[in-house]
Structure 1
């Protein structure tokens, strides 16, 4: 994906393809590379796929929250002069997509949520985060996936580095607390956009009942399950994830 990275104004982002824009929003511990397969797949099928690097650790601490991350997304959409956008978000990225849609619904053609926060999620537990305890970080990173082998040492190191740095740790906690404050349950019934919910049946971070609640509360939603799958369906089962989404796009004329 590094071949597609651009740096313009205050934005660093990956972009490829032409057509209706899909903006992909990564999670709190996620990287742009988590969406490699989805990025490559849809950028070759008539979509312009963009993945902005969210300023999780560069905003002032008092502005490190869901609201200002959505404001950053608004700046990005305006900068790129995008219309009729599909927002695709995993975990925190889904939450930002929902908050954005609440405030700027005119920009959004459709929503795609996978393992999204916004209603309820399990954090790393009461002991999170333990600085310097790499075994703890490894276990918690593995719990994100049904297939724990996906939690490579490189991925564990990325998470470990975030919570072992005081600046990124404080901002990680600020965003997590902000996500709890910005519960979207009362707002979802007002979101009329077609919504595709793709969920891992074995997600322990945002368990299956969360997906059912999103499906119940969003007026125009379809729910799809992926078996033997945890919190990051686009990483664990990218082919199935992409096939579900492409079929849904076709059914919805998106």
Structure 2
């Protein structure tokens, strides 16, 4: 198998932003893709309303996808929520909420899909990490902690399941042009200046595009990447590794 023909995929948070770009990319290469989202697209056949914070929701939807598709080959754990503030700014309840969605959400979906992934000849899980997992960013204590946990979880899962033929990787985007970032910009005191600052923070001088992240996910999910596991691919304009002089 050289492409995504006959590949059956599940993408969480697939209704908008990076998730929607991933769905388009995989379908363009021939995959059959199920969208799991709190707000699934209206009228779409392979779309399911799912709260990844509820194990029963997840198990029911994953089982329905596997029955409809005849199995599952790829899981993309993209669903997540943002958070702002220092370690002093968020309540215990908010910490539990964000960790529950961003970390345990990926656990729930992966756990539910494992029985079918074990039967696949091209099984892959791709987690959506973040530059905040490996770089200290202002006002991102909770969000960065959740993505740091997901970064580590990716490596542990890769070790646990490689002998079962299941590859586990992650993509780590820099600040991307997504609806969440747009809302943050709109709420800033000076949205234009804030956008310029975010652009300048990344060495290539602009926000990451959702389609660029989707391309990285497609590589990691593809049967062509059969020897790639336990890897986190950075799509951040060089932010994680470059130190340019002004």
TM-score range, shorter chain: 0.3 to 0.5
What TM-score do you get using the length of structure 1 for normalisation? Answer: 0.45
